[in-house]
């Protein structure tokens, strides 16, 4: 009986960590995207002629085609880094944490891991970006992006795919 209890104590932490990360950990390289420039054009096309170029430039600047994403899922923290930018570190329990982007803009960020789906939300008064990462059976990492803002008539949506690096 004691040996079974000891074995359970040894295996539970490993099982917890395995449940925390269904395979997101590691570096992933860009494989494809759904056409970010076309998605931006579709989002701004119905805006008035004064707001349209401003929105287009902001969306283009803030939504590059990332070539690499690095993800680290731990029991206390989830970290997501695009290209050489600073990683965004979020509590693994889904609570919001402050984050300051390289340009000085301040946000609240959250991360939520549910099975083979990792959702990251980046939010401030100007809008919200949601990154939904999914793991495919083919070991590809999918990324569905939604950007919402009171300044936009409709959200910007696009997808990207990454392969293990």
The DSSP H or E segment spanning 156 is strand 156-164
Contact 121, 133 (CB under 8 A): no
Provide the 10 A C-beta neighbour count for residue 140. 15
Task: State the residue range of the domain holding 118.
Answer: 2-164
113/73 Cα distance (integer angstroms): 9
Q: Angle CA(144)–CA(149)–CA(153) in degrees, nearest 5?
A: 95
pLDDT over 90, % of the chain: 80
pLDDT tens-digit map of 22-69: 699 999 999 999 999 999 999 999 999 999 999 999 999 999 999 999
Q: What is the DSSP letter of 52?
A: H
Nearest to 160, CA basis, from 139, 133, 130:
133
pTM for the full model? 0.85
Confidence of residue 21 (pLDDT cuts 50, 70, 90): low
SS3 assignment for 69-92: EEEEECCCEEEEEECCCCCEEEEC
Q: Is the pLDDT score of 8 beyond 90?
A: no
Q: CA nearest 154: which of 38, 62, 47, 35? A: 47
Number of domains composing the chain: 1
115 Cβ partners below 8 Å, 6+ apart? 22
What is the domain-level CATH number for residue 51? Answer: 2.40.128.20
Q: What is the pLDDT of residues 56-103, one digit of tens each?
A: 999 999 999 999 999 999 999 999 999 999 999 999 999 999 999 999
Give, in order, the Cα–Cα distances in Å from 118 to each of 11, 31, 42, 88, 91: 24, 19, 26, 14, 13
In the predicted structure, residue 3 carries a pLDDT above the cut 80:
no
| Rounded mean pLDDT, 131-143 | 93
């Amino acid at each position: 009986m004691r040996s079974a209890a000891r074995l359970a104590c040894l295996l539970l932490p490993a099982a917890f960590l395995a449940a925390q990360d269904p395979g997101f950990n590691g570096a992933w390289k860009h494989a494809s995207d759904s056409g970010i420039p076309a998605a931006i054009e579709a989002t701004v096309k119905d805006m008035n002629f004064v707001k349209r170029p401003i929105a287009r430039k902001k969306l283009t600047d803030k939504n590059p085609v990332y070539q690499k994403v690095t993800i680290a899922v731990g029991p206390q923290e989830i970290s997501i880094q695009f290209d050489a930018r600073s990683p965004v570190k979020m509590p693994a329990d889904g609570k919001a944490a402050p984050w300051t982007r390289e340009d000085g803009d301040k946000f609240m960020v959250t991360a939520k891991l549910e099975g083979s789906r990792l959702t990251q939300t980046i939010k401030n008064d100007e809008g919200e970006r949601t990154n939904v990462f999914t793991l495919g059976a083919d070991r590809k990492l999918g990324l569905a992006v939604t950007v919402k803002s009171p300044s936009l008539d409709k959200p910007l949506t696009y997808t990207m795919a990454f392969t293990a690096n």
